Amino acid sequence: MKRIGLLTSGGDCQALNAAMRGVVKSMYNSGEQIEVYGFLNGYQGLIYGNYRMLDPSDFSGILTRGGTILGSSRTPFKTIREPDEKGLNKVEAMKHNYHKRNLDCLVILGGNGTHKTANLLREEGLNIVTLPKTIDNDLWGTDMTFGFQSAVDIATNVIDAIHTTADSHGRVFIVEVMGHKVGFLTLNAGLASGADIILIPEIPYDIDKVVEAINRRKERGASFTIIAVAEGAISKEDAKLSKKEYKKKLANREHPSVSYEVASEIEKRTGQEVRVTVPGHMQRGGSPCPYDRVFASRLGAEAGKLILKGEYGFMVGYRNREIVKVPLEEVAGKLKMLEPKASIIKEAKLLGISFGD
């Protein structure tokens, strides 16, 4: 008998359910008897002992379902060792609830912050296996995360739809894509949809260069411009500020986000009408795309195999087109950034796309 716990932590995304289904189905199909404890709302469920027992029927029909059947929440790693409002030691509470149910392993699905806490629990002696989810694809140790491709598809569809109205009215359109620290999502959606300008956090932009790119298009007879902007895009001037100075500036920002700031500057310099579209949490929602269904299922199946073999302390990742196990200590606390000199950036520039640099 194997007793496993499941929890999904952090922001939700597509294919969380597909990944959990992959874990459980692979274990059921091995012939091993298992008990599955689903901890509710991320680490909060593990801290306070909120869970429900899951059986095979709970994993039927969820391959195509977005979100997570267990619920999710954010439990910041920086406060994980701080007592809660009632003085509860959260780390000790998680360990207690793990041992109280005699778990053989806890399977944790999440992104960067989630993996920090997962590695802490490993260091505290718990058997942990993790699966990499995030629409940002910024998790260290894996070439791909599930949720990413589904989010790319949604952001691409938004920009595709903007093209016709931008053309009809001869406007500049900005589409703000999710991504506070990295630009993988914005870059891929921008490339896929034929955006003319792409602004990402890794390449600070010069607003004059952005305006130059718009004017070049006008000189060539183009009546409109499409700009894909990551929500964490930053100007060259702001990139020179200290972290503290930049946070202070953001707190006093006149505009609701960087996209509106860029729009305002473009209107001042060109006189063109600029419209901003923010798809927001749409990018996390809906049914996972076929790629993510397959990918998450594969990762889940491999996680199930690790548990049956008693191999713990790993994230199931994807490198060089192969599913691999990555030690958690190599993953925790590291962010995978988009390299400004990466070949995909160079190729995008060959296609005439401006990055404002």
Active site amino acids: 136
In DSSP terms, which residues pair with 197 in a beta bridge?
227, 354
Neighbours of 309 (CB within 10 A): 8
CB neighbour list of residue 342: distance below 8 Å, 6 or more residues apart: none
User: In this structure, are residues 336 and 195 in contact, taking their beta carbons and an 8 Å threshold?
Assistant: no
In DSSP terms, which residues pair with 315 in a beta bridge?
130, 326
Buried/exposed code over 317-344 (b: 16+ C-beta within 10 A; e: otherwise): bbeeeebebbebeebbeeebebeeeeee
User: In this structure, are residues 134 and 147 in contact, taking their beta carbons and an 8 Å threshold?
Assistant: yes
Closest-CA residue to 217 (of 162, 155, 270)? 270
Neighbours of 193 (CB within 10 A): 20
Residue 39: DSSP 8-state = E
DSSP letters for 275-322 = EEE--GGGGG-SSPPHHHHHHHHHHHHHHHHHHHHT--SEEEEEETTE
Q: How far apart are CA 66 and CA 60, in angstroms?
A: 14
